[in-house]
């Protein structure tokens, strides 16, 4: 069931010299309940405007947004409040009120009519989770940037909304805060009644969190698909240029005590990585790291060696993309034009691919 | 001259500590009129000022210009307008309010209103839009947002209140015209000083001036403490 449906959404701003600037043009997509939908796009592509419109902080110029099949565009101020209370909008730059940490975090619950004795426990618990225990009485504006971001996360997450709108939230986070946000997002993702929309320009973040990715370029969604689809077959040149190419897979990781390496079990084969991981992981291999050989290579150090069939060859000037099918998975390898001629690759050619365990990165 | 000042200050102390009834009456009238008018003005100015500050509407710029003009409105002219309205043959003459403290409160109310409205509007407008949006996105309704923004601009609003109160207590033209400087009834510090100076009783005039300054200082001290307290 789709919780959010965006139809023909557009937004333009009037500039002072009477010129109109179109920030969003005919944006269409829908988000399923329980899904983590990541909108990826370069700076200035309209991500923040889109998220602000979804958060009912800005009115679109045209188009409609449906939340649970109800149109939420063009609402009265009173109705907007009703829907905003189901959402949570975390911005890139944290903004806190000039009151204590506790009061900042409690604010959303307080204005929903909750009593002090009913929210105290909840607020204190989340303050502890974000690592600010002992700072409850401190003025939130006197905190460091990272601590302030943690207050912002706590105050937006404590209200436990149906829809989370996160705008480049990890852009300014240090490692500790990144981990904290990760834990929160993983927890929210487990709750299938909660839906997350994340805007980011960081492709690795998109791969890590997304169930599906929407690529926003020049104010329109140019492609929607799973991370695997978007990163191995970008729809147009611009998307390809922006997202880059990656081989993305999901599997279950297990550390082999003897070798100290991790083997990741996928549907019909295993990939070995030097990173230590356990449990379900997403992994990516850069296309330039995948080496193609006509015959089974001998004396190579690569731990990952697979037999496959060339599915497609895309020539891109000096370089070529070779799409290779190994069992049920598809790999993308970037090679030079010279190599292509030397290897004499055509669709349906039988080849071998290999890559080093150190080239397999886990997210 | 110097001697006269010293004499005036000593007389001031004498008048206060001997509980001179007339002096205390003047103090009472001055403070009652100025505080009442400023508080009443604030009661109206806070919602008006924040409404103008929060909303965008046609004619906002013109309205802002009007408020700014009225912030520096000559009190004497305000006194004249209220006088013409309240005089026996005026449109509100039947109310019989001329030469009463009520008339003085009305005149000072209209002088204070644009000052507090203007400062409230500016304070609300100067709040970073991000904060407004954060409060809204956390689920606040318009009234809750308003309360939060007023709390946030407390300092500027108190500053506006102080300016308005300062103007009211030191104002002479309007209260003179509509109050009539009636002894025991509508005589304030400022009108009393005018009266004493005209009579050549400089000692009393200086005494009144000194008390006015000290009391204004004490009032401002407490309001400023309120302003800086977090």
Phi (first) and psi of residue B47, to 5 degrees:
-65, -40
Closest Cα in chain B, distance from residue A85 (Å): 5
Closest Cα in chain A, distance from residue B64 (Å): 21
- Asked whether the beta carbons of residue A155 and residue B138 sit closer than 8 angstroms, the reply is yes
Do B169 and B129 form a contact (C-beta atoms < 8 A)? no
Residues A52 and A128 reside in one and the same domain: yes
Q: What percent of chain A has pLDDT over 90?
A: 50
CA pair distance A117, A333, nearest whole angstrom: 60
Using a CB–CB cut-off of 8 Å, the residues of B that contact A are: 128, 130-131, 133-142, 144, 148, 152, 230
pLDDT at A67 over 80: yes
User: pLDDT tens digit string along A260-287?
Assistant: 889 999 888 889 998 888 888 888 888 8
Residues A34 and A181 reside in one and the same domain: yes
pLDDT at B13 over 90: no
**Least CA distance to A152: which residue of chain B?**
B134
In degrees, rounded to 5, the angle at the alpha carbon of residue A115 between the alpha carbons of residues A113 and A120 is 125
Contacts with A107 from chain B: Cβ below 8 Å: 135, 138
Q: Which of A190, A214, A245 is the last residue of a domain?
A: A245
- Asked whether the beta carbons of residue A81 and residue B138 sit closer than 8 angstroms, the reply is no
CATH number, residue A260 = 2.40.50.100
Of A89, A149, A78, A197, give the one whose Cα is nearest residue B137.
Answer: A89
pLDDT score at B52 = 93
Interface probe for A, chosen from B139, B140, B146 (most Cβ of A below 10 Å), is B139
CB atoms within 10 A of CB A26: 14
Closest Cα in chain A, distance from residue B148 (Å): 9
Residues A128 and A229 reside in one and the same domain: yes
**Least CA distance to B149: which residue of chain A?**
A97
Order of strands, sheet of A70-71, starting from the edge strand that comes earlier in the sequence = A20-32, A2-14, A62-67, A70-71
Of B208, B121, B116, give the one whose Cα is nearest residue B162.
Answer: B116
Closest Cα in chain A, distance from residue B116 (Å): 23
A327: its two tokens: 């069992």
pLDDT score at A210 = 92
Contacts with B134 from chain A: Cβ below 8 Å: 91, 95-97, 152
Contacts with A87 from chain B: Cβ below 8 Å: 137
CA pair distance A334, A316, nearest whole angstrom: 10
CA pair distance A36, B1, nearest whole angstrom: 83
CATH number, residue A152 = 3.40.50.300
Give the 3-state DSSP-derived string for A280-305, with helices as H, strands as E and coil as C. Answer: EEEEEECHHHCEEECCCCCCCCCCEE
| Contacts A–B by Cβ distance under 8 A | 53
Nearest CB among B137, B141, B142 relative to A55 is that of: B137
Beta carbons within 8 Å of A219's beta carbon, 6+ residues apart: A22, A23, A24, A25, A27, A45, A46
**Least CA distance to A138: which residue of chain B?**
B230
What's the whole-number mean pLDDT along residues B180-184? 89
What's the whole-number mean pLDDT along residues B131-159? 91
pLDDT at A328 over 90: no
**Least CA distance to A89: which residue of chain B?**
B137
Answer whether residue B76 is part of any domain: yes
Contacts with B135 from chain A: Cβ below 8 Å: 97, 107
Nearest CB among B134, B141, B148 relative to A95 is that of: B134
**Least CA distance to B151: which residue of chain A?**
A98
Residues A161 and A284 reside in one and the same domain: no
pLDDT, mean over chain A:
89
Nearest CB among A81, A88, A155 relative to B141 is that of: A81
**Least CA distance to A163: which residue of chain B?**
B137
CA pair distance A319, A340, nearest whole angstrom: 9
Contacts with B130 from chain A: Cβ below 8 Å: 91, 93, 95
Is the ipTM reported for this complex over the cut 0.90?
Answer: no
Answer whether residue B70 is part of any domain: yes
Q: Strands (DSSP E) along chain A, which ranges?
A: 2-14, 20-32, 36-40, 62-67, 70-71, 87-90, 163-167, 195-200, 212-217, 220-225, 247-255, 262-265, 270-273, 279-285, 291-293, 304-316, 319-326, 329-336, 350-355, 360-362
Q: What percent of chain B has pLDDT over 90?
A: 52
How many residues in chain A? 363
pLDDT at A165 over 90: yes
Do A93 and A106 form a contact (C-beta atoms < 8 A)? no
Answer whether residue B57 is part of any domain: yes
Order of strands, sheet of A360-362, starting from the edge strand that comes earlier in the sequence = A270-273, A262-265, A247-255, A279-285, A360-362
User: pLDDT tens digit string along B28-84?
Assistant: 999 999 999 999 999 999 999 999 998 888 999 999 999 999 998 999 999 999 999
Nearest CB among B128, B134, B139 relative to A111 is that of: B139
Closest Cα in chain A, distance from residue B136 (Å): 8
For residue A263, the cross-strand partners are A254, A272
Nearest CB among B131, B134, B140 relative to A111 is that of: B140
Of A97, A157, A100, A104, give the one whose Cα is nearest residue A126.
Answer: A157
Do B144 and B44 form a contact (C-beta atoms < 8 A)? no
What's the whole-number mean pLDDT along residues B114-123? 94
Q: Which of A245, A271, A304 is the last residue of a domain?
A: A245
User: pLDDT tens digit string along A81-136?
Assistant: 999 999 999 988 889 999 999 999 999 999 999 999 999 999 999 999 988 999 99
pLDDT score at B230 = 53
DSSP 3-state of A196: strand
Interface probe for B, chosen from A48, A59, A78, A98 (most Cβ of B below 10 Å), is A98
Q: Give chain B's domain count.
A: 1
Q: What is the CA radius of gyration of chain A?
A: 24
- Asked whether the beta carbons of residue B144 and residue A111 sit closer than 8 angstroms, the reply is yes
pLDDT at B229 over 70: no
Q: Give chain A's domain count.
A: 2
pLDDT score at A238 = 73
Answer whether residue B19 is part of any domain: no
Residues A54 and A189 reside in one and the same domain: yes
Residues A59 and A151 reside in one and the same domain: yes
pLDDT at A180 over 80: yes
pLDDT score at A229 = 85
Residues A198 and A342 reside in one and the same domain: no
Residues A59 and A115 reside in one and the same domain: yes
The boundaries of the domain holding residue B152 are: 29-187
pLDDT, mean over chain B:
89
**Least CA distance to B139: which residue of chain A?**
A85
The full DSSP string for A142-189 is GS-HHHHHHHHHHHHHTT--SEEEEESTTTT--HHHHHHHHHHHHHHH
Q: Which of A245, A279, A310 is the last residue of a domain?
A: A245
pLDDT score at A228 = 83
Answer whether residue B82 is part of any domain: yes
- Asked whether the beta carbons of residue B138 and residue A93 sit closer than 8 angstroms, the reply is no
Beta carbons within 8 Å of B52's beta carbon, 6+ residues apart: B60, B63, B64, B67, B117, B121
pLDDT at A331 over 60: yes
Residues A183 and A282 reside in one and the same domain: no
pLDDT score at B4 = 76
The boundaries of the domain holding residue A289 are: 248-362
pLDDT score at B36 = 96
pLDDT score at A41 = 87
How many residues in chain B? 230
CATH number, residue B181 = 1.10.3720.10
Residues A207 and A324 reside in one and the same domain: no
- Asked whether the beta carbons of residue B128 and residue A95 sit closer than 8 angstroms, the reply is yes
Residues A255 and A228 reside in one and the same domain: no
For residue A316, the cross-strand partners are A319
Residues A278 and A350 reside in one and the same domain: yes
């Amino acid at each position: 069931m789709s919780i959010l449906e965006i139809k023909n959404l557009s937004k333009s701003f009037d500039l002072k010299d009477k010129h109109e600037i179109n920030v969003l043009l005919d944006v269409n997509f829908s988000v399923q309940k329980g899904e983590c939908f990541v909108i990826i796009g370069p700076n200035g592509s309209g991500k923040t405007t889109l998220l602000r419109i979804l958060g009912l902080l800005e009115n679109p110029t045209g188009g409609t947004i449906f939340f649970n099949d109800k149109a939420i565009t063009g609402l009265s101020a009173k109705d907007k409040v009703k829907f905003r209370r189901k959402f949570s909008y975390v911005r890139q730059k944290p903004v806190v009120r000039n009151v204590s940490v506790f009061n900042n975090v409690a604010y959303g619950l307080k204005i929903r009519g909750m009593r002090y004795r009913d929210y105290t426990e909840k607020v204190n618990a989340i303050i502890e989770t974000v690592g600010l225990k002992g700072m409850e009485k401190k003025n939130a504006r006197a905190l460091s940037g990272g601590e302030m971001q943690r207050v912002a996360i706590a105050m937006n997450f404590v209200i436990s909304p149906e829809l989370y709108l996160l705008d480049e939230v990890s852009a300014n986070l240090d490692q500790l805060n990144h981990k904290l946000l990760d834990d929160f997002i993983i927890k929210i993702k487990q709750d299938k009644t909660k839906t997350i929309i994340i805007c980011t320009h960081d492709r690795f973040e998109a791969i890590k969190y997304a169930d599906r990715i929407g690529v926003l370029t020049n104010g329109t969604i140019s492609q929607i698909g799973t991370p695997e689809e978007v990163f191995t077959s970008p729809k147009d040149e611009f998307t390809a240029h922006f997202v880059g190419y990656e081989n993305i897979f999901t599997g279950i990781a297990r550390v082999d005590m003897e070798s100290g390496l991790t083997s990741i079990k996928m549907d019909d084969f295993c990939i070995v990585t030097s990173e230590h991981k356990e449990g379900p992981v997403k992994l990516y291999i850069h296309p330039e790291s995948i080496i193609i050989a006509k015959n089974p290579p001998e004396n190579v150090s690569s731990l990952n060696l697979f037999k496959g069939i060339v599915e497609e060859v895309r020539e891109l000037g000096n370089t070529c993309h070779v799409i290779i099918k190994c069992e049920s998975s598809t790999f993308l390898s970037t090679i030079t034009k010279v190599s292509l001629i030397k290897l004499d690759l055509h669709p349906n050619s039988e080849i071998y691919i290999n890559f080093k365990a150190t080239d397999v990165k886990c997210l | 001259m110097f001697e006269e000042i010293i004499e005036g200050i000593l007389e001031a102390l004498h008048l206060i500590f001997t509980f001179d009834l007339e002096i205390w009456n003047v103090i009472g009238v001055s403070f009652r009129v100025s505080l009442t008018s400023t508080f009443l003005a604030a009661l109206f100015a806070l919602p008006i000022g924040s409404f103008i500050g929060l909303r965008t509407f046609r004619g906002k710029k013109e309205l802002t210009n009007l408020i700014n003009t009225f912030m520096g409105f000559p009190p004497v002219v305000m006194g004249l307008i209220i006088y013409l309205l309240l005089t026996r043959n005026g449109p509100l003459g039947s109310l019989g309010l001329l030469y009463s403290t009520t008339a003085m409160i009305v005149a000072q109310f209209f002088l204070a209103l644009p000052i507090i409205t203007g400062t409230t509007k500016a304070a609300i407008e100067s709040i970073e839009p991000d904060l407004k949006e954060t409060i809204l996105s956390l689920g606040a309704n318009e009234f809750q947002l308003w309360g939060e923004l007023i709390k946030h601009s407390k300092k500027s609003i108190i500053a506006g209140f102080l300016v308005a109160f300062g103007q009211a207590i030191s104002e002479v033209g309007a209260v003179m015209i509509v109050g009539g400087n009636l002894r025991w009834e509508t005589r304030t510090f400022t009108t009393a000083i005018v009266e004493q100076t005209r009579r050549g009783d400089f000692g009393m005039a200086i005494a009144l001036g000194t008390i006015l300054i000290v009391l204004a200082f004490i009032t401002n001290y407490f309001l400023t403490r309120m302003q800086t307290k977090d």
